[in-house]
């Protein structure tokens, strides 16, 4: 098991390294010069030269990369081209909001998708299954911003149950913070649950065909015990692995949901940095999002093997 884990971790290292090269090269791919691109063609040449020197853009590439990577490993992503503030400070500032949204969204989607996927997968071809499958096909077609607008219109603008937009840190005012999280989290959760429900369903269908399921019935175990203790428990390893991939949808979804609900998370930084051509920021965000995705999937793979006793010996 330890060897397996080590092997997995070692596989992730070149991936993370490749990602860092990619993010670095990305900014240098910009046609012309990032500073000119940012400030415009008619900018003052002395200012441009000054900025270029400040960001180290006038030095050879390998040297630039080395310095940049050394900084990144220390948690220093450089300075924002736009605001001149340290990028790490800006991002760290935004992380709690995004985590709160993504976490709550994930909980919502798990609460919807797991029961739906299990119900559909336990009886493939049944009426309930076709109903749930059609619902997921429709759900996959509904964009997060559309869903969010509907929810906002209904719960905030018509029923006035919750505020329509905004964010309060949880530590400042927990109750208000949760009230404000409700709609964005519901939007994000509903947007992701069709993917998750389909993944759950196919994992459950596969397990439900195993001989131990009818044998469990022959033993006279209760249906709930069979669907949870046998089917879901055996589908869990592949579900956890699938969950890792769902993180990509969670990230993409949160970028859109943050924009809709004016939620000050890292997703707003992504759109802001691209529109404002703040390349150092884009570079840092690519690395952080990509790195997070790689690490989360690594953790999920390790969890997957922990959940399956058959992997332990190999």
Of 41 and 171, which has the nearer Cβ to other proteins?
A: 41
**Interface with other proteins by CB under 8 A: which range of 40-48, 51-59, 93-101, 301-309?**
301-309
Establish if 31 lies at the interface with other proteins (CB under 8 A). yes
Establish if 15 lies at the interface with other proteins (CB under 8 A). yes
User: What DSSP character marks residue 277?
Assistant: T
User: What DSSP character marks residue 139?
Assistant: H
Q: Distance of alpha carbon 246 from its chain centroid, rounded?
A: 7
- Site size for other proteins (CB under 8 A): 78
Which x/- pattern, by CB under 8 A, does the window 140-159 give for other proteins? xxxxxxx--xx-xx---x--
d(CA 17, CA 21): 6
User: 188 — phi, psi (to 5°)?
Assistant: -65, -45
Neighbours of 136 (CB within 10 A): 21
Select the residue interacting with other proteins from 50, 59, 61, 123 (CB under 8 A).
Answer: 123
Of 49 and 228, which has the nearer Cβ to other proteins?
A: 228
Of 79 and 287, which has the nearer Cβ to other proteins?
A: 287
Establish if 26 lies at the interface with other proteins (CB under 8 A). yes
When computed from its CA atoms, the radius of gyration of the chain, rounded to whole angstroms, is 24
**Interface with other proteins by CB under 8 A: which range of 74-82, 87-95, 96-104, 253-261?**
253-261
Select the residue interacting with other proteins from 286, 300, 301, 304 (CB under 8 A).
Answer: 286
Site for other proteins in 101-120 (CB under 8 A): none
Interior angle at CA 166, CA 163 and CA 168, nearest 5:
105
Select the residue interacting with other proteins from 132, 201, 279, 301 (CB under 8 A).
Answer: 279
Q: How far is the CB of 53 from other proteins (least distance, A)?
A: 23
Of 241 and 256, which has the nearer Cβ to other proteins?
A: 256
Select the residue interacting with other proteins from 54, 64, 164, 177 (CB under 8 A).
Answer: 164
Q: Of 278, 272, 270, 266, whose CA–CA distance to 27 is shortest?
A: 278
Q: How far is the CB of 299 from other proteins (least distance, A)?
A: 14
**Interface with other proteins by CB under 8 A: which range of 38-46, 71-79, 100-108, 139-147?**
139-147
| Cross-strand partners of 79 | 86
d(CA 207, CA 308): 13
The contacts found for 285-292 with CB under 8 angstroms, 24 or more apart, are 285/91, 286/19, 286/22, 286/23, 286/26, 287/19, 287/20, 287/23, 287/72, 287/77, 288/91, 289/251, 290/19, 290/22, 290/23, 291/16, 291/19, 292/247, 292/251
Of 1 and 138, which has the nearer Cβ to other proteins?
A: 138
Site for other proteins in 198-237 (CB under 8 A): 210-212, 214-223, 225, 229-230, 233-234
Q: Of 111, 311, 136, 114, whose CA–CA distance to 231 is shortest?
A: 114
Q: Count the alpha carbons within 13 Å of 135 in the hemisphere toward its beta carbon.
A: 19
Which x/- pattern, by CB under 8 A, does the window 49-88 give for other proteins? ----------------------------------------
């Amino acid at each position: 098991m330890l060897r397996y884990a080590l092997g997995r971790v070692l596989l992730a290292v070149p991936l993370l390294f490749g990602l860092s090269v990619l993010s670095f090269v990305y900014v240098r791919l910009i046609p012309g010069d990032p500073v000119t691109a940012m400030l415009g063609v008619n900018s003052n040449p002395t200012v441009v030269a000054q900025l270029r020197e400040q960001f180290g853009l006038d030095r050879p590439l390998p040297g630039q990369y080395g310095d940049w990577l050394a900084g990144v490993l220390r948690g220093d992503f450089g300075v924002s081209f736009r605001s001149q503030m340290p990028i790490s400070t800006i991002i760290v500032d935004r992380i709690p909001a995004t985590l709160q949204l993504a976490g709550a969204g994930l909980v919502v989607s798990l609460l919807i998708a797991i029961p739906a996927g299990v119900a559909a997968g336990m009886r493939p071809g049944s009426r309930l299954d076709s109903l749930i499958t059609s619902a997921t096909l429709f759900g996959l077609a509904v964009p997060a911003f559309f869903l969010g607008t509907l929810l906002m219109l209904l719960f905030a603008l018509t029923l006035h149950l919750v505020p329509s937009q905004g964010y309060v840190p949880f530590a400042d005012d927990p109750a208000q913070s949760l009230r404000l999280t409700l709609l964005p989290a519901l939007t994000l959760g509903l947007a992701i649950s069709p993917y998750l429900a389909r993944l759950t369903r196919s994992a459950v269908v596969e397990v439900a065909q195993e001989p131990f399921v009818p044998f469990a019935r022959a033993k006279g175990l209760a249906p709930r015990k069979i669907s949870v203790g046998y089917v879901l428990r055996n589908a869990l390893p592949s579900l956890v692995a699938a969950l890792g991939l769902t993180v990509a949808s969670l990230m993409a979804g949160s970028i859109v949901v943050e924009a809709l609900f004016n939620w000050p998370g890292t997703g707003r930084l992504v759109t802001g940095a691209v529109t404002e051509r703040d390349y150092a920021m884009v570079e840092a965000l690519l690395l952080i999002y990509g790195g997070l995705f790689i690490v989360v999937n690594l953790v999920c793979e390790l969890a997957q093997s922990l959940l399956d006793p058959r992997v332990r010996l190999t």
